[in-house]
Structure 1
Amino acid sequence: MSIGKFLVKRLLQGVLVIWGVITIMFALRAVSPGDPANLIVGPAADPEIRDQVREQYGLNEPIYVQYVDYVQGMVTGDFGYSFQSSREVTTMVLERVPATLELAIAATIIAVVIAVPLGVISASRRNEPADYGATLFSLLGISTPNFWLGLMLILLFAVFLQDPMETYLGFSFPQGRRTVGFGEAVITLVTTGYAGDLLTWVRHITLPAITLGTYFTAMITRLTRSGMIDEFGKPYVTATEAKGIPYVLIRYKHVLRNTMIPIITVLGLQLGTLIGGAVITETVFNWPGLGDRLIQALNARDWPLMQGIIVFIALGFVLINIAVDALYATLDPRVTNE
């Protein structure tokens, strides 16, 4: 199968996934108790006003008509209007996307910077204290709930150690909502040369990124370790050692390089998972991303906004998966035959 046909197949599968998500979200809204009109105008409003609202939002139409209109709106990018704020859902979603992407990418960078060297050390010093320490770290990272870890990091660094850090290091990690985004900070740095906004952004994102990336770090560490151990047992390593090539060169140029293909695949797939899994972390740290807005929509039972956010997250996850499949098919053409 050619790469083009392979990607078309993946794209069609992605369309089916998105359609399934849209259908499930509509079904959940249809079977949930309560009248959406009461959420918009309040239960004490006059019946005439509630009838006008139902007609305005198409809530008085048969369920199949509502479903068709709902799917058509999603296909054209019209997610409707928020019940709570009467703003376009598309606008409310897109304005929170940069913050979520910043957090997911920062968590990925932290995970890679820590996990790959740790996995290399663990594989190179198998059954030694360094290996046991890396294995214990991986176990703790996978087992620790990120909401608990986030709360502990806030208590430790933003509360108990705030004054000592200010005194001895000259900075501390803030407790409140961030005041500047990455794009704004970079623009300020480029146009004025002032780096204060960028440093403020770094201070705000450090603890959330560590919290979100801990599980990812542990997983990549274990993947790197197991991949390198598997590569060390292959004949080409023995052959290169017999030629007198230095062990360090074998480890990094050959073994680690061959281990990176599955790691790159997992990196791409987990980026989509991080975007969807940032809900709890954003809530704990009051981070102004999609997760924070989704929790607000859930509390207000704002169905159009909830649907828009979840469909957007699913769309992002599918697109990232297709991109990873394309990269993997380029690196290893054998996958196109699967």
Structure 2
Amino acid sequence: MSLSRFLLKRSLHGLFVVWGVITVVFGLRVIAPGDPANVLLPPNVDPEVRQQVIRELGLNEPLYVQYFEFVAGIPTGDLGLSLTTRTPVAARVLAKLPATLELAVAATVVAVIIAIPLGVISATRRHDPADYGATVFSLLGISTPNFWLGVMLIILFAVQLDMFPTSRRPVGFDTIVAQALALQFGSAWDALTTWLWHITLPAITLGTYFTALITRLTRSGMLDELGKTYVRASRAKGLPETLVRYKHVLRNTLIPVITVVGLQLGTLIGGAVITEAVFAWPGLGSLIINSFNARDWPVLQGSLIVVGAGFVVTNILVDAFYAYLNPQVTYD
């Protein structure tokens, strides 16, 4: 099967998954307690006014009519109107999405840069102090709650040492790119340093569990590959140990690592809720929390659909990347 046919097949599968997400999200709104009209109206409102608002929101229609109207608007980008601000949901979600993507990608970069070398060192120096140190680090990383780690980092590096800010996102990465394309390199550099200064602590907080997971996966994969026949044959041919270790063994080890990185990237997009709340990072996580507290179901629905679509797209890209790392992986 060619790459184009594979992508088409997986895209069709992905559409069904997204449709399932949309259906589940709509069902959660239906079974959730409370009336959306209560968000807009005071408790002592006149019953006629209340009924008029319900008709304007379409809540008086049968559920199947509401469902099909909701689904029909999604392909055109119509996710409805926010109950609290009466603005398009799609515009609000897209305005918050870049901040969450920046945080998720930054956390992934931090995890990969630290975890893969640490996993390689742990596997090649088995039972040495470096191996024990990497094992302890991964255990602590998996066991530490993100919200507690974020608070501790703020207390230590922001309050006590005054090295990093406690919150906010004064500049986005899109601004840095725009300034660089406009040849405003001085402004772009200042914006980049400000961006790095503000995103460092949130990225470390969000990526700590991810770092520990990749470290353990890389270590186990390296140990498994080092014991295979082709490694002994490569060494018998006189190939340098560095070439064997990093060109052949590590490359084959990266197959499951890439899988986890792709899946966890989608998880980080949805799992950044707590980290964004701790650092007041203005992304989808903060929008989801605020929408839930305000019972703004259209915004909550739109945010969850975007997160679900992010999972699907990430999985498709990860599967397509397999063949580049390992020619034995086919698109069948």
Q: How does 1:153-172 map to 2 (within 5 A)?
A: 153-162=153-162, 172=163
Bigger shift: residues 53-62 or 258-267 = 258-267
- Look up the equivalent residue of 1:249 and give its one-letter code: L
Q: How does 1:117-156 map to 2 (within 5 A)?
A: 117-156=117-156
Separation (CA, whole Å) in 2 of partners of 1:289 and 1:56 = 30
Percentage of identical aligned residues: 62
Separation (CA, whole Å) in 1 of partners of 2:93 and 2:119 = 37
Kept in 2, the 8 Å contact 1:186–1:198? The answer is no
Separation (CA, whole Å) in 2 of partners of 1:256 and 1:306 = 42
Separation (CA, whole Å) in 2 of partners of 1:275 and 1:292 = 12
State the 1:94 CA deviation.
0.3
State the 1:185 CA deviation.
3.2
Separation (CA, whole Å) in 2 of partners of 1:236 and 1:67 = 56
Separation (CA, whole Å) in 2 of partners of 1:335 and 1:159 = 52
Query: What is the match of residue 105 of structure 1?
Result: 105
Q: Which segments of 5 or more consecutive residues in structure 1 lack a partner in the other structure?
A: 163-171
SS in 2 for 1:97: helix
Q: Residue 44 in 1 paired to residue 35 in 2?
A: no
Q: Residue 322 in 1 paired to residue 313 in 2?
A: no
Query: What is the match of residue 35 of structure 2?
Result: 35
Q: Alignment RMSD, CA only?
A: 1.7
State the 1:2 CA deviation.
5.0
Query: What is the match of residue 231 of structure 1?
Result: 225
- The TM-score normalised by the length of structure 2 is 0.93
Task: For residues 139-164 of structure 1, give each alpha carbon's deviation from its aligned partner in whole angstroms, at most 9, with x where no partner exists.
Answer: 111111111111111111111121xx
Kept in 2, the 8 Å contact 1:123–1:228? The answer is yes
Q: How does 1:150-299 map to 2 (within 5 A)?
A: 150-162=150-162, 172-188=163-179, 190-191=183-184, 193-194=186-187, 195-299=189-293
- Look up the equivalent residue of 1:275 and give its one-letter code: I
Separation (CA, whole Å) in 1 of partners of 2:22 and 2:40 = 22
- Look up the equivalent residue of 2:12 and give its one-letter code: L
Separation (CA, whole Å) in 1 of partners of 2:29 and 2:238 = 67
State the 1:329 CA deviation.
4.8
Task: For residues 208-236 of structure 1, give each alpha carbon's deviation from its aligned partner in whole angstroms, at most 9, with x where no partner exists.
Answer: 00011111111111111111111111112
Separation (CA, whole Å) in 1 of partners of 2:10 and 2:169 = 38
SS in 1 for 2:170: coil
Kept in 2, the 8 Å contact 1:125–1:131? The answer is yes
Q: Residue 307 in 1 paired to residue 298 in 2?
A: no
Separation (CA, whole Å) in 2 of partners of 1:86 and 1:136 = 51
SS in 2 for 1:301: coil
Kept in 1, the 8 Å contact 2:82–2:298? The answer is yes
Task: For residues 163-216 of structure 1, give each alpha carbon's deviation from its aligned partner in whole angstroms, at most 9, with x where no partner exists.
Answer: xxxxxxxxx201131211122234345425133222111110000000111111
Separation (CA, whole Å) in 2 of partners of 1:316 and 1:77 = 15
Task: For residues 107-144 of structure 1, give each alpha carbon's deviation from its aligned partner in whole angstroms, at most 9, with x where no partner exists.
Answer: 11111110011011000001111111101111111111
- Look up the equivalent residue of 1:303 and give its one-letter code: W
Separation (CA, whole Å) in 1 of partners of 2:280 and 2:145 = 17
Q: Give runs of ≥4 in structure 1 deviating > 3 Å.
A: 1-9, 185-190, 329-337
- Look up the equivalent residue of 1:142 and give its one-letter code: I
Q: How does 1:7-86 map to 2 (within 5 A)?
A: 7-86=7-86
Kept in 2, the 8 Å contact 1:77–1:90? The answer is yes
Separation (CA, whole Å) in 2 of partners of 1:52 and 1:59 = 10
Separation (CA, whole Å) in 1 of partners of 2:194 and 2:53 = 45
Query: What is the match of residue 168 of structure 1?
Result: none
SS in 2 for 1:295: helix
How many equivalent pairs are there? 328
Task: For residues 281-331 of structure 1, give each alpha carbon's deviation from its aligned partner in whole angstroms, at most 9, with x where no partner exists.
Answer: 111110011111111101101000000000011011101111111222554
Separation (CA, whole Å) in 2 of partners of 1:152 and 1:196 = 28
Separation (CA, whole Å) in 2 of partners of 1:160 and 1:218 = 26
Q: Which segments of 5 or more consecutive residues in structure 2 lack a partner in the other structure?
A: none
State the 1:333 CA deviation.
5.4
SS in 1 for 2:255: helix
Kept in 1, the 8 Å contact 2:322–2:329? The answer is no
Separation (CA, whole Å) in 2 of partners of 1:10 and 1:27 = 26
